[in-house]
Amino acid sequence: MPIEKLQRISLMDLELNFQEVEQGFTNQEAIEEANRCLYCYDAPCIKACPTGIDIPTFIKKIASDNLLGSSKTIMSSNPVGASCARVCPTEELCEGACVLNHSTTPIMIGKLQRFATDWAIQNDRTLFEPGIPNGRKVAIIGAGPAGLSAARELARYGYEVTIFEAAEKAGGLNTYGIVSFRLPQRISYWEVDQVKKLNVKFLTNAKIGKDISVQELMENFDRIVLAAGMGHVPSLDIEGESLDGVHDAIEFVKATKTGKVSNHLIGKRVVVIGAGNTAIDGANCSVRLGAENVKILYRRTAEEMTAYDFEYEFAKMDGVEFRWLTAPKRIIGDENGKVIGVECYKMKLGEPESDGRCWPIAVEGSEYVIPADAVIKAIGQTRHTDLIEQLGIDHRGGVVQVNPETLQTSNPKIVACGDIIFGKGKGDAMVVTAAQQGKMAAYALHKQFTSVDSPV
Ligand SMILES: Cc1cc2nc3c(=O)[nH]c(=O)nc-3n(C[C@H](O)[C@H](O)[C@H](O)COP(=O)(O)OP(=O)(O)OC[C@H]3O[C@@H](n4cnc5c(N)ncnc54)[C@H](O)[C@@H]3O)c2cc1C
Ligand code: SF4
């Protein structure tokens, strides 16, 4: 489309681009799909779900029109089950394990999960009750999926739970990080409300280590759950990063989720650096903001990229181009300090590293320039090393070290869960894993006080 025409696109048109893409099932579609399930004994789909949702049971309840029961089955195993219905890589998890893969197509478990949880959202159902107060106080640092999940379980056991959240709103990356055309904020807010209804106190705009000291937490609470996730996108350590037009992918996506959609990319060329889910989300958002051309640069090949297959396909459908074996050498600016291009190296793969992926090496003399009006950095996330050190617990490069069974840190009064314990080279972190670890952290703390084993 010619640029003049593109520039007439209104902000309202752009906002429409951020509406949820995937349509939910109709009643009839849901019932038909639910009736295809074989309700397998020893169902492999349950084992493939990190939170162990009783999938055949929730599907059976849809088939018998018991949507309250179905949503309870889902949410009791996964406190962020409505978000997961939209963002889980189901083809790698439950649907990938469905026995029907061998004969026909797998049950669309994610869409059925969405159908049941959407019903609970639309009908404003409160699914759980708080436990009888036991007089013990737990502080949770971070209100993302891991913190919410831990809070929900602890509140059901009767703990007095306070969540401290640095951001203005709770929900973590479900609220601010995962693009709204896949996960609208209202879904995340409903999950937060479910936890609030269990008398969990939420203190937002409260950053531990800055607004409230670690000392204060240690003195006023019996136990601490550390669920602070990861931080912003790290520096590329190349020339030109401070130019006008260079963005942090997470902040970039956050702006689109918090109503700051603008027309500054209409007709522009965008280069995204990185090939994880964050990079894909940054690229897809650029397309939806009207960019004329979006290229993802990755220093390795499609084989090694960490983005999920469905994200990759989604980006290709949005017209995003991929430049494999390409790494930035510097970002080039004009005399006004505005981005005009990225000088790149061609790369080749060297020996495999400890995580099995080959180390990329720049090919000498291969430099060339890709013209660009904006650059989005998406090469992972930094770690909350400062906070971890203030808490005085062991970590390796900002990854908190925990006992894998109990998620206990080197301080027995602190457990940690979610992205803050997620190590490098393990693919991309997932909401569903954070949710499961939140549950495990809650059960481990409860066991410290009661010696009672809880279902994990
Ligand atoms: C762009 C993007 C797209 C993604 N897409 C997917 C996807 O499609 N599917 C999927 O399964 N996963 C996806 N993920 C990963 C997923 O979002 C994370 O694995 C998950 O959110 C981790 O949950 P968490 O609770 O550990 O951390 P977070 O969601 O990061 O929550 C941590 C919370 O702690 C707060 N916090 C941090 N420091 C402090 C402090 N000092 N004091 C108080 N609060 C603090 C933060 O503000 C934040 O709210 C994506 C991630 C990104 C960045
Ligand atoms: S494996 Fe497939 S068919 Fe069997 S219970 Fe799970 S969803 Fe149903």
pLDDT attached to residue 3: 47
- Specify whether the CB–CB gap between 231 and 383 falls below 8 A: yes
Going from the Cα of 99 to the center of ligand 1, the distance in angstroms, rounded, reads 32
**What separation in Å is there between the alpha carbon of 172 and the centre of ligand 1?**
5
Structure confidence at residue 286 (pLDDT): 96
For residue 1, is pLDDT > 70? no
Mean pLDDT of 424-435: 82
Q: Is the pLDDT of residue 392 over 80?
A: yes
The pLDDT score that the predictor gives to residue 304 is: 86
Compute the average pLDDT of residues 224-240: 96
Contacts of 236 (CB under 8 A, 6+ apart): 273, 328, 377, 379
What pLDDT does residue 451 have? Answer: 77
HSE (side-chain half, CA atoms, 13 Å) at 265:
29
Q: Which residues line ligand 1 (CB under 6 A)?
A: 87-88, 141-147, 164-167, 172-173, 177-178, 207-209, 227-229, 250, 253, 277-278, 281, 384, 387, 418-419, 429-432, 434
Of all protein residues, the one whose alpha carbon is nearest to atom 8 of ligand 2 is 37
Q: pLDDT digit string (tens) for 85-111?
A: 999 999 999 999 999 999 999 999 999
Q: What are phi and psi of 269, to 5 degrees?
A: -105, 125
Mean pLDDT of 156-177: 98
**Cα–Cα dist 35/63, whole Å:** 6
* Protein residue whose Cα sits closest to atom 50 of ligand 1: 178
Query: Which atom belonging to ligand 2 lies closest to the Cα atom of 44?
Result: 1
* C-alpha closest to that of 130 among 159, 106, 169: 159
Q: Average of pLDDT values for 400-411?
A: 96
| Residue 4: pLDDT over 60 | no
42 CA → ligand 1 middle, Å: 32
pLDDT for the residue numbered 159: 98
Q: Residue 92 in contact with residue 107, Cβ under 8 Å?
A: no
Per-residue confidence at 14, pLDDT binned at 50, 70, 90? confident
pLDDT(453) > 50 = yes
Average pLDDT over residues 39-61: 97
In this predicted structure, the answer to whether residue 426 has a pLDDT above a threshold of 90 is no
353: tokens are 């590293």
**What mean pLDDT comes out for the span 22-45?**
97
Helix H, strand E, coil C: the string for the chain is: CCHHHHHCCCHHHHHHCCCCCCCCCCHHHHHHHHHHCCCCCCCHHHHHCCCCCCHHHHHHHHHCCCHHHHHHHHHHHCCCHHHHHHHCCCCCCHHHHCHHHHCCCCCCHHHHHHHHHHHHHHCCCCCCCCCCCCCCEEEEECCCHHHHHHHHHHHHCCCEEEEECCCCCCCCHHHHCCCCCCCCHHHHHHHHHHHHCCCCEEECCCCECCCECHHHHHHHCCEEEECCCCCCCCCCCCECCCCECEEEHHHHHHHHHCCCCCCCCCCCEEEEECCCHHHHHHHHHHHHCCCCEEEEECCCCCCCCCCCHHHHHHHHHCCCEEECCEEEEEEEECCCCEEEEEEEEEEEEEEECCCCCEEEEECCCCCEEEECCEEEECCCCCCCHHHHHHHCCCEECCEECCCCCCCECCCCCEEECHHHHCCCCCCCCCHHHHHHHHHHHHHHHHHHHHCCCCCC
Confidence at residue 307, expressed as pLDDT on a 0 to 100 scale: 86
Q: Ligand 1 atom closest to Cα of 164? A: 43
Read off the pLDDT of residues 122-137 as tens digits, 9 standing for 90 and up: 999 999 999 999 999 9
Ligand 2, atom 1, lies closest to the CA of: 98
Indicate whether 389 pLDDT > 50. Answer: yes
Q: Whose CA is nearest to atom 7 of ligand 1?
A: 87
Check pLDDT > 70 for residue 456: no
Q: Express as a percent the part of the chain with pLDDT over 70.
A: 95
Q: What is the per-residue pLDDT across 206-219, written as a single tens digit (0 to 9) for each?
A: 999 999 999 999 99
Confidence class for position 174, pLDDT limits 50, 70, 90 = very high
281 alpha carbon, closest ligand: 1
Q: Which residues line ligand 2 (CB under 6 A)?
A: 37-40, 43-45, 55-56, 98-100, 107, 109
pLDDT at 311: 86
Q: What is the pLDDT of residues 259-312, one digit of tens each?
A: 777 778 999 999 999 988 899 999 999 999 999 999 999 999 998 888 888 889
For residue 427, the model assigns a pLDDT of 61
Residue with the smallest CA separation from ligand 1 atom 21 is 173
Tokens of 48: 């493939």
Question: Which ligand minimizes its atom distance to the CA of 212?
Answer: 1
122: buried, middle or exposed (CB in 10 Å: 19+, 13-18, 0-12)?
exposed
pLDDT at 210: 96
- The residue among 327, 308, 417, 337 whose CA lies nearest residue 377 is 327
- Separation of CA 325 and ligand 1 centre (Å): 29
Give pLDDT tens digits for 20-30.
988 999 999 99
pTM score of the predicted model: 0.94
Give residue 359's pLDDT.
87
Identify whether the C-beta of residue 174 lies closer than 8 Å to the C-beta of residue 145: yes
